[in-house]
Structure 1
Amino acid sequence: MLFTMHGTIMIFYAITPILIGAFGNFLIPLQIGARDMVFPLMNMASFWISFFSGVVLMVGLFTPLGAAASGWTSYPTLSTLIGDPGNGQTLWTLAIFMLGVGSTLGAINYITTIITLRAPGMGYFDMPLTIWGIFMTAILNAVFLPVLGAGCLLLLFDRLFGTTFFLAGAIATNGTGDPVLFQHVFWIFGHPEVYILILPAWGIVSDLLAWFSRKPAFGAKTTALCMITITILSTLVYGHHMFTTQMSPLLTQTFMTLTMTISIPSAIFFTNWLGTLWRGSIRFDSPMLFAMGVVFVFGLGGLTGLYLGTVTTDIYLHDTYFVVGHFHYTMAASVLLGGFGAVYFWMPKMFGVMMNECLAKWHFWLSFIGLNGIFMGMMVLGYAGMHRRLYNPFVYEFMKGMVPLNTFVTWSAILMGAAQVIFVYNFIHALIKGKKVEDPNPWNIGTLEWTIPCPAPHYNFKEIPVVKCGPHEMGNPNLPEGKDFQYQTEKLVKV
């Protein structure tokens, strides 16, 4: 139950609402020069449906048999009445279906807003890469959340009405279904979900690296094209999650090849990040530290993913702590650090105050050291053969030698948890006693949101801006003395 609720809440109700819901709604109008989202009523419906889905999920904790306990993936037969007869699992399934409806409405709103409400003169490649990341995420949400919703609906029918979509053998009294069918339905959504979560972070990091290196983003158009390529290829690689389900060898080879292929555009834009940093006039402010932290943890998480996308190594590593360490490096560490960087960077635009820079740097280093201790330790444990979902793995003789490393992982988790107290204090203190930002552009950045006061007024722009250049025009030696950037509303100064 603990692991089921942890995975569900963190993926569906923490990472997704923060980066996609909060920053998506806040940044899309500001960075494309619009006064609001194109469908405000749909936006409100999306929020409240998602909110009440969370309420439904948490109600499961107070049912007689407790909340759902079949894992965050809720594989049948564990998630059917045979494996989990309590109402908590039924409420879990209903909650995820409701969340899918709310998120799909939000995705349609995001896509339509970006296509129709861009400021005059703003082409697609004049958009900040943050918007590109949110744009690609919205497309994946609109396409694949209905698939997950359909799977949850069929699972609800199995639990409530006696159907057998996901039941087989002696327990299927009214016909025969297939438990593995749910795995196909789940991972058709589940692997794009990895990119749904991380694409906004990639966009934010791509922008922050350029802005705090005080130079144009290296290969910005190529980075956007790589995001498009990854979005397309992410729809074709889900089978590498199912290599151990007696999949046809021909299919395993196909999915392995496609998985290796998707690493190519990922490697290209990772190289672009390094190119942006190269010979830049780097400012090590807290948003930049978090962005550089993402470069490290995503590089490590991405490389370890190659072993899980290859059939021969995945057979050994599947369902070990290596998998847990890998997906936390990519989905948790990368998205978490990117989210913190975004909060520190856009804090003055959201609330008109700056957070304490010294505390922010303490927060970064303690979090960075802690999370690497946790997830690197997990990958070493997994490589040594320690399986996940074991109540007490040390009853096995070969795992008893892993106790010290498990203890190290625990202390790393305590360190990382303690570091978040610094963030909470810094955030609340800034809101209550923080010094008001007088300069509407404290970071000296040229995107549209920094042309208006801090915090942003309710209507965003008194007059809709006209865009004349891209979002990363920095370091031009022909700019006036004392200025190393230009606004998107200014005519491009030629080098």
Structure 2
Amino acid sequence: MTTHQTSAQPPVTPHDPAALHAELYAVWRGLPGWRGFVCEVNHGAIGLRFMITAIVYFAIGGVLAMLIRVQLASPRAAFVGPDIYNQLFTMHGTIMMFLFAIPMLEGLALYLLPKVMGARDMAYPRLSALGWWCYALGGLILLVAMLAGVAPDGGWFMYTPLSDKVHTPGINADVWLLGITFVEISAICAAVEITVSILKLRAEGMALTRLPLFAWYMLGTAAMMLIGFPPLILGSILLEVQRAFDWAFFDPARGGDPILWQHLFWLFGHPEVYIIFLPAAGALSVMIATFARQPIIGHAMIVAAIWAMVFLSFGLWVHHMFTIGIPHLALAFFSAASMLVAVPTSVQIFAWIGTLWSGRPRWSLPMLHITGFFLTFALGGLTGVMLAAVPFNWQAHDTAFVTAHLHYVLIGGFVFPMLAAITYWMPHFTGRRAVRGLGTAAFWLIFIGVHGTFLVMHLTGLLGMPRRVSIYPDNPEWELLNLISSVGGFIMAAGFALFAVDMGLQLFMGRRTRRNPWRATSLDWAMRLPPPTYNLASLPRADMETDERTLTPSRLDMLATTLAMGEGMLAGAPRGVRETLIIDAVSGRAEAVAVLPGNTMRPALTALTIGLFFLAMLAGFYWVAAAAVVLVAVMCAGWIRPVAPIQGTTAAVPETIEGLPASPFYRHGLGWWGSAVLLVANASLFASLLFAVAFLSVIAPGWEGAVQENPHGVLPMAALLVTAIGGALLLCAGLWSQRAATAGQRALAWAGMLAVAAGALASGAMMAGSPAEHARHAVQAAILAYLVLHALILVTMHLAAARGHRIGVQAVATQGVLAQWHGYTGLVALVGALALAVAKL
């Protein structure tokens, strides 16, 4: 498919603005009643759902925090017993980290990104909706467990061996492992969605060098999520398999090692701090430029700092493990890396301060919260540098000092920026102005409460108070400090409650606002408020100014009027389908038109089938879980087909739209890009599995002694050879399909899939021992199961492609995706077989 050029713009056809908007509304509107809630896929609605749900979870987590502070206000409090207290602090940390912070940034990104980049929607609307349903249902599992008294109680980090079946025999740990894994599906969906949307769905002419800073921050965040979340997902799967089937991954008596869990968890856990901070920093960059009334200084340096943080964040995970017996050379390396990451963070902070210093700041309510960020985050950063020093870390580790540092970083680096962002974009969400007075009072209560709670907690930690204790009868020196922290906590809670009241008053009683009330220069304000579901009546052309560094408020108003009149690209919806522009990722040149799906129940139904799997696993109904996997495959197979015309329309999707190919007829369209990005996350999970094999083979006790003579002789190695041959066939099929999809290529692919599956199954059946006997056999079975699963995924994809509605469209739209999965599955089959052979597993 050749790329179409649009540099010579056709003359603009006059449009009736009212007719344009009516036409767009007819195509982009949601369904009425309950069907609208279940079937909605629009990015604006889904983004708001994420944020509202995250705020509800934040309130629940805050209530749990206040219960903890009541218990700690006196040395011998009998408010709750130790068992309930363990559930309280575990659920507080779990909710704040997994159900508030990450989903909140996902919601902000989903809502804002198309608007700041001049697009109509995200790349995969159904994927966004699936992510929200997985998030909501996974969080519901945790909340119901808490109400039933079986909430997780092993800490939000779920360290082994405390979380294994011996030490936690009930379902408490299973609730955490299965519920969090369910929620993490949402994070992977969001990472794929954000990455592809930023790279491919922008205004024409918006080259990568003109990308808004907010989009740069979100792109870095998505990259970290793609690589950082799979290790946690893998760790949760391995631990749940150990609990359910007694496989020996983390049991040192059987060749496992509990330290493996810590490595897998913190490979996710420390990058998560920057995953949380980067979106907040992106929002700060937008707001500071608006209130300073000038562009952010050092734009290129900030972009470089973003990617330096992305890179460095993956070299810090041992920062949390300094006291477990790490070799001294490794301690020195990770200590230096932990200090070095302060450099790119400082670059951004000094750029923001310089922008405010050289501009003419307006001191409105969002700027108060931004000031709270500067003061709080700076203190958290200083204590972070202290904890990066190994001798000090040994003294302060697992004390209240670390709790104080964590909350200073997270509240300063995320909560204050999010409060500023909510107040800044609230007119965008609601179309209404703020009610004066309450917001300022809420800020001061929150600011005083935060520092009253956690500043003295540093002293409590330095006096030796450990974390996660419910009583301290023999340490009266901690009593006054804990009482101060508890009083500060309730002041902070009052501030958050007042903030919620302020937002409610603005929503229901605020006066209507004008367009662009802050006089900003970003494209999200170039539309009426609240924005329509389609954002813009027409999309910016290459000859229109869209760079936030050169736009002024008056120019933005002119651009908004021009686009509302239909003088841009893809004006209206004359073809009865949802359209937005696909561009070249680097140059911003128009390549194709994305035809997006409309309202559908498929995401909700798919999430319910996934939820059935997790509930069946939680209840121990493993045959039901296996049946649920089949249902999930059937549901997902229905997604692998071209987009049908939007519901309620009769128009067919044309092959070209305004001289550009429509996405179903475009080989390297959104499906190709989404598949490539998803495979990055998949590769991270596979690499984590190989890391587990390497770690256990070097560190775990009794590994070499577990080598047994296989009673089947050379047959297992022969089966591995068949697996490797199948992988080679799939690689050849992938390379072949890059040129053409023929009957010979399909036959080669089927031969490869069947060889990989048969070889892996045969090798697993002829293992020298059971996965329950030794970790050596457990990791062998895990690798073989991974290979079989991917062979079955490829079979499902081929069957789904074969039943496509339009044979010609399928040949173009799915050929590139299948080629990617052929190549990836072939590669992991070769690597997996080689790893098993070399390690003599």
How does the TM-score come out when normalised to structure 2? 0.55
Q: How many residues align?
A: 472
Look up the match of 1:493: none
The answer (yes or no) to whether the contact 1:188–1:235 under 8 Å persists in 2 is yes
The alignment status of 1:58 with 2:178, answered yes or no, reads no
Q: Give the partner amino acid of 1:38.
A: A
Q: Choose the corresponding residue for 1:72, options 148, 152, 156.
A: 156
Q: Choose the corresponding residue for 2:545, options 455, 461, 468.
A: 468
Look up the match of 1:442: 517
Please give the secondary structure, in 2, of the residue aligned with 1:177.
coil
Deviations 1:28-71 (CA, angstroms, capped at 9, x unpaired) = 111011100011111111111111111222232255x6211000
The answer (yes or no) to whether the contact 1:205–1:294 under 8 Å persists in 2 is no
The answer (yes or no) to whether the contact 1:294–1:337 under 8 Å persists in 2 is yes
The answer (yes or no) to whether the contact 2:103–2:187 under 8 Å persists in 1 is no
Q: Give the partner amino acid of 1:131.
A: A
Look up the match of 2:204: 120
Please give the secondary structure, in 1, of the residue aligned with 2:433.
coil
Look up the match of 1:352: 431
1:251: how far off? 0.8
| Cα distance change, pair 57–422 in 1 and its aligned pair in 2 (3 A) | same
Look up the match of 1:38: 123
| Cα distance change, pair 443–311 in 1 and its aligned pair in 2 (3 A) | same
| Counterpart-to-counterpart distance in 2, 1:183 and 1:96 | 16
Look up the match of 1:188: 267
Q: Give the partner amino acid of 1:443.
A: W
The answer (yes or no) to whether the contact 1:333–1:371 under 8 Å persists in 2 is no
The alignment status of 1:23 with 2:134, answered yes or no, reads no
Look up the match of 1:266: 345
The alignment status of 1:6 with 2:92, answered yes or no, reads yes
1:293: how far off? 1.4
The answer (yes or no) to whether the contact 1:210–1:472 under 8 Å persists in 2 is no
Look up the match of 1:338: 417
| Counterpart-to-counterpart distance in 1, 2:96 and 2:373 | 18
**Bigger mean CA deviation after superposition, 88-97 or 126-135:** 126-135
| Counterpart-to-counterpart distance in 2, 1:262 and 1:118 | 31
Q: Give the partner amino acid of 1:156.
A: E
Q: Choose the corresponding residue for 1:297, options 362, 376, 379.
A: 376
| Counterpart-to-counterpart distance in 2, 1:258 and 1:269 | 18
Q: Choose the corresponding residue for 1:129, options 200, 209, 213.
A: 213
Deviations 1:399-423 (CA, angstroms, capped at 9, x unpaired) = x223212111111111010111211
Q: Give the partner amino acid of 1:408.
A: I
1:128: how far off? 3.0
**Bigger mean CA deviation after superposition, 218-227 or 119-128:** 119-128
Q: Choose the corresponding residue for 2:495, options 394, 415, 419.
A: 419
The answer (yes or no) to whether the contact 1:350–1:455 under 8 Å persists in 2 is yes
Q: Give the partner amino acid of 1:304.
A: T
| Counterpart-to-counterpart distance in 1, 2:339 and 2:550 | 34
Look up the match of 1:146: 230
Deviations 1:145-177 (CA, angstroms, capped at 9, x unpaired) = 1111000000101111111211223xxxxx221
| Counterpart-to-counterpart distance in 2, 1:62 and 1:282 | 48
Q: Give the partner amino acid of 2:123.
A: V
Deviations 1:70-92 (CA, angstroms, capped at 9, x unpaired) = 00000001111122112121011
Q: Choose the corresponding residue for 1:209, options 274, 278, 288.
A: 288
Q: Which runs of 5+ in 2 are unaligned?
A: 1-86, 561-841
* Structure 1 residue ranges (4+ consecutive) displaced by more than 4 angstroms after TM superposition: 483-490
| Counterpart-to-counterpart distance in 1, 2:208 and 2:274 | 20
The answer (yes or no) to whether the contact 1:197–1:335 under 8 Å persists in 2 is yes
The answer (yes or no) to whether the contact 2:102–2:187 under 8 Å persists in 1 is no
Q: Give the partner amino acid of 2:208.
A: Y
Deviations 1:416-461 (CA, angstroms, capped at 9, x unpaired) = 1011121121111222222111x11111011111111000111001
The answer (yes or no) to whether the contact 1:370–1:415 under 8 Å persists in 2 is yes
The alignment status of 1:166 with 2:250, answered yes or no, reads yes
Please give the secondary structure, in 2, of the residue aligned with 1:388.
coil
| Counterpart-to-counterpart distance in 1, 2:208 and 2:457 | 41
Q: Give the partner amino acid of 1:87.
A: I
Please give the secondary structure, in 2, of the residue aligned with 1:60.
helix
Matches within 5 A, 1:214-293: 214-293=293-372
Look up the match of 1:362: 441
| Counterpart-to-counterpart distance in 2, 1:127 and 1:376 | 39
| Counterpart-to-counterpart distance in 1, 2:549 and 2:445 | 31
Q: Give the partner amino acid of 1:462.
A: A
| Counterpart-to-counterpart distance in 2, 1:373 and 1:87 | 37
Q: Give the partner amino acid of 2:213.
A: L
| Counterpart-to-counterpart distance in 1, 2:554 and 2:487 | 44
The answer (yes or no) to whether the contact 1:56–1:91 under 8 Å persists in 2 is yes
1:284: how far off? 0.8
| Cα distance change, pair 226–485 in 1 and its aligned pair in 2 (3 A) | farther
The answer (yes or no) to whether the contact 1:367–1:415 under 8 Å persists in 2 is yes
Look up the match of 1:172: none
| Counterpart-to-counterpart distance in 2, 1:394 and 1:209 | 48
| Counterpart-to-counterpart distance in 2, 1:67 and 1:255 | 34
| Counterpart-to-counterpart distance in 2, 1:73 and 1:270 | 30
The answer (yes or no) to whether the contact 1:320–1:387 under 8 Å persists in 2 is yes
Q: Choose the corresponding residue for 1:310, options 389, 395, 416.
A: 389
1:27: how far off? 0.4
C-alpha RMSD over aligned residues: 1.8
1:488: how far off? 10
The answer (yes or no) to whether the contact 1:60–1:92 under 8 Å persists in 2 is no
1:484: how far off? 8.0
The answer (yes or no) to whether the contact 2:191–2:222 under 8 Å persists in 1 is yes
1:487: how far off? 6.5
Please give the secondary structure, in 1, of the residue aligned with 2:341.
helix
| Counterpart-to-counterpart distance in 2, 1:357 and 1:297 | 25
| Counterpart-to-counterpart distance in 2, 1:138 and 1:488 | 33
1:279: how far off? 3.6
Deviations 1:260-315 (CA, angstroms, capped at 9, x unpaired) = 21111111111112111114211111111111211111111111101111111100
| Counterpart-to-counterpart distance in 2, 1:143 and 1:181 | 18
Task: For CA contacts below 8 A with separation 6 or more, give which structure has more relative contact order.
Answer: 2
Deviations 1:153-211 (CA, angstroms, capped at 9, x unpaired) = 00101111111211223xxxxx2210010000000010111011111111111221221
Please give the secondary structure, in 2, of the residue aligned with 1:30.
helix
| Counterpart-to-counterpart distance in 1, 2:554 and 2:453 | 40
The answer (yes or no) to whether the contact 1:473–1:486 under 8 Å persists in 2 is no
Q: Which runs of 5+ in 1 are unaligned?
A: 170-174, 491-495
Q: Choose the corresponding residue for 2:239, options 145, 155, 158.
A: 155
| Cα distance change, pair 319–254 in 1 and its aligned pair in 2 (3 A) | same
**Bigger mean CA deviation after superposition, 203-212 or 181-190:** 203-212
| Cα distance change, pair 90–427 in 1 and its aligned pair in 2 (3 A) | same
| Counterpart-to-counterpart distance in 2, 1:310 and 1:443 | 43
Q: Give the partner amino acid of 1:458.
A: T
1:130: how far off? 2.2
| Cα distance change, pair 292–128 in 1 and its aligned pair in 2 (3 A) | farther
The answer (yes or no) to whether the contact 1:122–1:468 under 8 Å persists in 2 is no
The answer (yes or no) to whether the contact 1:215–1:280 under 8 Å persists in 2 is yes
The answer (yes or no) to whether the contact 1:363–1:419 under 8 Å persists in 2 is yes
